[in-house]
Amino acid sequence: MINAGISIYPTKNLEINSSLKYMGKWGDAEPYTLINIGLKFFPSLSSKFSFELKGENLLNEKVYLPKIVIQSPIVPVIPKTFSKKFYISFSYKF
Per-residue model confidence as pLDDT tens digits over 16-25: 999 999 988 8
Confidence check: pLDDT of 66 > 90:
no
Number of compact structural domains in the chain: 1
Q: Is the pLDDT of residue 4 over 70?
A: yes
Element (H, E) at 89: strand 85-92
Per the model's pLDDT, the better-predicted residue between 71 and 28 turns out to be: 28
Containing structural domain, residue 80: 2-92
Task: Give the number of other Cβ atoms within 10 Å of residue 50's Cβ.
Answer: 16
pLDDT at 79: 65
The reported pTM is: 0.75
Lowest mean pLDDT among 11-15, 19-23, 28-32, 77-81: 77-81
The pLDDT of residue 1 is above 90: no
The whole-number pLDDT of residue 72 equals 62
| E runs forming strands in the chain | 2-11, 14-23, 32-41, 49-56, 63-65, 78-81, 85-92
